Amino acid sequence: MIMPIHLYGTRVWDGPAKKVTKFDDKLVGLIRDMFETMYNADGIGLAANQVGLQMSFAVMDISVMEDYAGEKPLVVINPEIVESSGEYVMEEGCLSVPGIRDEVTRADRLVVRFTDGNFERVETELTGMWARVFQHEYDHLQQKFFINRLSGVKRQILKPKLSKIKRNEVKSRYPVVSALDEKKSG
């Protein structure tokens, strides 16, 4: 089932993503829906709060990128960053912040812990694009967006665009919920 993506400014971002404690069929179904929603929107990562769920998990698949064609999809539940080092700059966008892209500095090597799609706890090293996507989704689970990592000046410039996102005046190719939609439905 394709779920609407909750844009910047919607209520789900007011509260923290809670630790997942039930590893059941319901979670399996949510993970499947999240992948379907992500692929439908041509995304390479999607955090649960982006579909309105205050739960600490995300799905990722970077195999659409030429250099990562052989990579398998990844499910990360209750993720933690144990170590991070290095840095590199790359342009990012986000399904919850349509129409905005900007350069973000991130660590290029991580040691992370999470529960995977087989519900097994894993500790592993991530580098390159995997490290970047992991950090982007991890940020979402801490109620953050890539725009929170931009300079104050850049964020100031983006303000009118962010207001448009709240009013759902930005075109998206996928179903969304905006702050205005939430206000209307009470």
Q: Which is nearer to Zn ion, 108 or 139 (CB)?
A: 139
Strands 57-60 and 102-106: unpaired
Which residue stretch of 74-82, 91-99, 127-135, 153-161 sits at the interface with Zn ion (rule: CB under 5 A)?
91-99
SS3 162: helix
**Is residue 94 near Zn ion by the rule CB under 5 A?**
yes
**Is residue 60 near Zn ion by the rule CB under 5 A?**
no
Burial class of 132 by CB neighbour count within 10 A (0 to 12, 13 to 18, 19+)? buried
**Active-site residue among 36, 137, 169, 182?**
137
Q: Total residues contacting Zn ion (rule CB under 5 A)?
A: 1
> Can 120 be counted among the known catalytic residues?
no
Burial class of 118 by CB neighbour count within 10 A (0 to 12, 13 to 18, 19+)? exposed
Among 106, 105, 94, 103, CA closest to 162? 94
Q: Which is nearer to Zn ion, 94 or 170 (CB)?
A: 94
Q: Which is nearer to Zn ion, 106 or 186 (CB)?
A: 106
The answer to whether the CB of 179 falls within 8 A of the CB of 10 is yes
**Is residue 53 near Zn ion by the rule CB under 5 A?**
no
**Is residue 110 near Zn ion by the rule CB under 5 A?**
no
Q: Shortest distance, CB of residue 53 to Zn ion, whole angstroms?
A: 14
Residues that bind Zn ion (CB under 5 A): 94
- Catalytic site positions: 137
